[in-house]
């Protein structure tokens, strides 16, 4: 028999955002059978909420209910994975019961965490993945808590029944679990150890009986030191889960995730053959198969690279909503040290906001390491050509095309403006590249945006005034925080640009670090600056 004292009066909140929860004392094996002492949590009455369609989008493969069903691989088509572990305990009821480890909707019985996962999935989309073990857990409370405690004592990592195929396609993993004995359930350890989360973002959520996250956030970071573990977490008391749909949906929306379907299978449209659509979103490859300029030979992923060798750079369009006046176009390059593209902070949400403000917006998914920034810059140039070719369709003046980037994405945009704009095409780098009609169109841009970025190379700003002066650089907007470690580099680059006669606008955000992405309220200032630039064109 096991008992654990939870001293978390702070867990009375219905919904706790961004807090890792207070710790719980460890279990001892003396008395009592429940791992949780309820601690003054808000009582929530049974929910009348209705939701008939929460299961859509679960990634393929039938649930295998028995140990001998064998191991399954499951695959989805999105860039967001919502993975959860949950045990719907055997409670005799046909209604939602506050505090029970189940939620019932339309006769379907779900575990607490499962229900929350499904609300998240219904809100933001993404692929749902149920972490299940080969050996099933008892559904009765006492044997369940005993088994969980034994597994923890033995540090047993149970074998999983199902596996995520194409794990590498996911940029963000929303990971849900119940607090079990002030820790992750052991199957979640197995799950975290099974995949390489390097360069991905993990967004944890927990359901619990009073302990919040305990130390699980730290544990996740320790198990996946390469991953970015988001601070925007969700902690829900089991007492409030059944009535939490609105809060969960609000939290899910606050994540700013907009699921993009995984690009392009290899039969997708390319910028060479597609016609721009100013209304509906398009995902377009930038190069024809077999004709992508490259000097890097990349044939095998040794595990160090986010994209596999068959990755084809592509752009995603975010048209201005109908009825909104069109001001111009902006091509956006997310950062990520050329190791990944931080789309959810620096790509999709930025494009959505700018399109609402009247800019035809485009996220450019350029090549990462092992390719060079020169090769990536050619990807951007190609995207600019497509936008210019269809300037009329997009309702813009062809001079009103801006590029911008965050961190490495800004360096990439700068590389294009310094060396690969105009009609410089892929053959400048790779003489086996065969230029096509689109390459005859200029890749010049009318403005550049450097969001905690600069002209130069990773970590090193260029101060080459001669090069700046001879490159016909467009007006450039800088925005960075005073706590950014590269403040000195930004300042030097700005000074050199001014000396070279390049019009520069600088917004400095007091106390802000590197990597704030679409947050911190800089977008209206950028919009005002860009509107002025385009109006003067
Ligand atoms: C084995 C076990 C251990 C638990 N340990 C804790 C705990 O240490 N702290 C806590 O707050 N809740 C604890 N709980 C309560 C669960 O976290 C809570 O009921 C959760 O919502 C269950 O989620 P599920 O229905 O998705 O499995 C435990 C529950 C079980 C079954």
Per-residue pLDDT of the chain (537 residues; tens, 9 = 90+): 333 322 222 222 222 222 223 323 234 333 333 444 333 222 222 222 222 223 234 554 333 322 233 445 555 567 899 999 999 988 765 444 445 678 887 677 899 999 999 999 888 888 899 999 999 999 998 999 999 999 999 999 999 999 998 898 888 999 999 999 999 999 999 999 999 998 789 999 999 999 999 999 999 999 998 899 999 999 999 999 999 999 999 999 999 886 665 655 555 799 999 999 999 889 999 999 999 999 999 999 888 888 889 999 999 999 999 999 999 999 999 999 999 898 878 998 899 899 999 999 999 999 999 999 999 999 999 999 999 999 999 999 999 999 999 999 999 999 999 999 999 999 999 999 999 999 999 999 999 999 999 999 999 999 999 999 999 999 999 999 999 999 999 999 999 999 999 999 999 999 999 999 998 999 999 999 999 999 998
Q: What does the pLDDT read at residue 69?
A: 33
Check: CB of residue 500 under 8 Å from CB of residue 468.
yes
**What pLDDT score was predicted for residue 92?**
62
Q: Which of 429, 415, 120 is nearest to 248 (CA)?
A: 120
Tokens of 433: 């590249």
First and final C-alpha spacing in the chain: 76
Q: How far apart are CA 306 and CA 88, in angstroms?
A: 36
Q: What is the position in ligand 1's atom list of the atom closest to the CA of 147?
A: 1
Q: Is 478 in the pocket of ligand 1 (CB under 6 A)?
A: no
> Which of 21, 93, 178 is the best mutation target for the ligand 1 pocket, counting ligand atoms within 8 Å of the beta carbon and taking the most?
178
Q: How far is CA 330 from CA 182, 223, 494, in A?
A: 47, 39, 21
- Location of each CATH 3.40.50.360 domain in the chain: 9-37+57-254
Residue 208 alpha carbon to ligand 1 centre in Å: 5
CATH ID of 308-536, from 3.20.20.70, 1.50.10.10, 3.40.50.1820, 3.30.230.70: 3.40.50.1820
> CATH fold of 9-37+57-254, please?
Rossmann fold (3.40.50)
Closest CA to 318 of 359, 269, 378: 359
Among 342, 411, 346, which Cα is nearest to 374's? 411
Rounded-to-integer distance, Cα 12 and Cα 212, Å:
10
DSSP letter string over 206-231?
A: EEESS-TTTTHHHHHHHH-TTSEE-S
145 CA distance to ligand 1 middle (Å): 9
Cβ 335 under 6 angstroms from ligand 1? no
- State the pLDDT at residue 524: 97
| 3-state class (DSSP) for residue 376 | helix
> Looking at residue 263, what is its pLDDT?
57
Q: Tell me which residue of 422, 316, 420 sits closest to 375, measured CA to CA.
A: 420
Looking at the chain, the domain(s) classified CATH 3.40.50.1820 span 308-536
Strands 15-17 and 234-237: antiparallel
Closest listed residue to residue 303, CA positions, set 369, 221, 229, 219? 369
One DSSP character per residue, 256-303 reads T----BPP--TT--BTTT----SSS--EEESSBTTB---SS------S
């Amino acid at each position: 028999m096991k008992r654990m004292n939870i001293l978390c009066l702070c867990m009375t909140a219905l919904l706790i955002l961004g807090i890792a929860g207070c710790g719980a004392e460890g279990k001892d094996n003396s008395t009592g059978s429940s791992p949780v002492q309820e601690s003054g949590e808000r009582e929530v009455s049974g929910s009348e909420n209705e939701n008939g369609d929460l299961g859509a989008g679960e990634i393929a493969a039938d649930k295998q209910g028995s140990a001998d069903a064998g191991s399954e691989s499951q695959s989805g088509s999105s860039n967001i994975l919502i993975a959860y572990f949950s045990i719907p305990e055997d409670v005799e009821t046909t209604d939602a019961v506050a505090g029970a480890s189940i939620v019932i909707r339309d006769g379907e019985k779900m575990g607490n965490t499962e229900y929350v996962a499904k609300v998240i999935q219904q809100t933001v989309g993404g692929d749902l993945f149920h972490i299940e073990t080969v050996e099933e857990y008892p559904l009765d409370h006492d044997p369940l808590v005993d088994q969980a405690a034994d597994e923890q004592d033995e540090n047993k990592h149970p074998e999983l029944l199902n596996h995520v195929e194409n794990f590498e396609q996911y940029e963000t993993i929303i990971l849900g679990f119940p607090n079990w004995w002030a820790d992750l359930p052991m199957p979640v350890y197995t799950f975290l150890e099974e995949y390489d989360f390097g360069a991905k973002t993990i967004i944890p959520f927990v359901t619990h009986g009073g302990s919040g996250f305990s130390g699980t956030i730290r544990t996740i970071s320790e198990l996946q030191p390469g991953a970015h573990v988001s601070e925007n977490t969700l902690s829900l008391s089991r007492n409030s889960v059944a009535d939490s749909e609105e809060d969960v949906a609000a939290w899910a929306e606050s994540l700013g995730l907009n699921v993009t379907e995984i690009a392009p299978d290899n039969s997708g449209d390319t910028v060479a053959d597609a016609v721009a659509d100013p209304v509906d979103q398009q995902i377009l490859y930038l190069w024809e198969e077999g004709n992508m300029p490259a000097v890097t030979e990349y044939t095998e992923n040794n595990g160090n690279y986010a994209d596999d060798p068959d990755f084809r750079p592509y752009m995603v369009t975010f048209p201005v909503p109908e009825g909104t006046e069109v001001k111009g176009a902006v091509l956006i390059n997310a950062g990520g040290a050329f190791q990944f593209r931080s789309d959810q902070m620096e790509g999709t949400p930025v494009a959505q906001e700018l399109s609402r403000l009247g800019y035809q917006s485009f996220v450019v998914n350029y090549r990462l390491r092992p390719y060079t920034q020169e090769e990536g810059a050619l990807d951007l140039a190609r995207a600019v050509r497509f936008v210019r070719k269809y300037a009329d369709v997009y309702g813009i003046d062809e001079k009103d095309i801006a590029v911008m980037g965050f961190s490495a994405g800004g360096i990439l945009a700068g590389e294009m403006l310094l060396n690969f704009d105009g009609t410089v095409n892929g053959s400048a780098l790779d003489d086996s590249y065969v230029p096509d009609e689109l390459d005859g169109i200029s890749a010049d841009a009318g403005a550049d945006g450097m969001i905690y970025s600069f002209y130069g190379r990773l970590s090193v700003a260029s101060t080459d005034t001669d090069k700046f002066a001879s490159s016909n650089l467009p007006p450039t907007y800088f925005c960075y925080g005073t706590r950014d470690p590269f403040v000195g580099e930004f300042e030097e680059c700005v000074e050199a640009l001014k000396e070279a006669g390049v019009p520069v606008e600088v917004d400095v955000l007091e106390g802000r670090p590197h990597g704030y992405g679409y947050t911190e309220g800089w977008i209206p200032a950028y919009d005002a600056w860009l509107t002025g630039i385009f109006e003067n064109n």
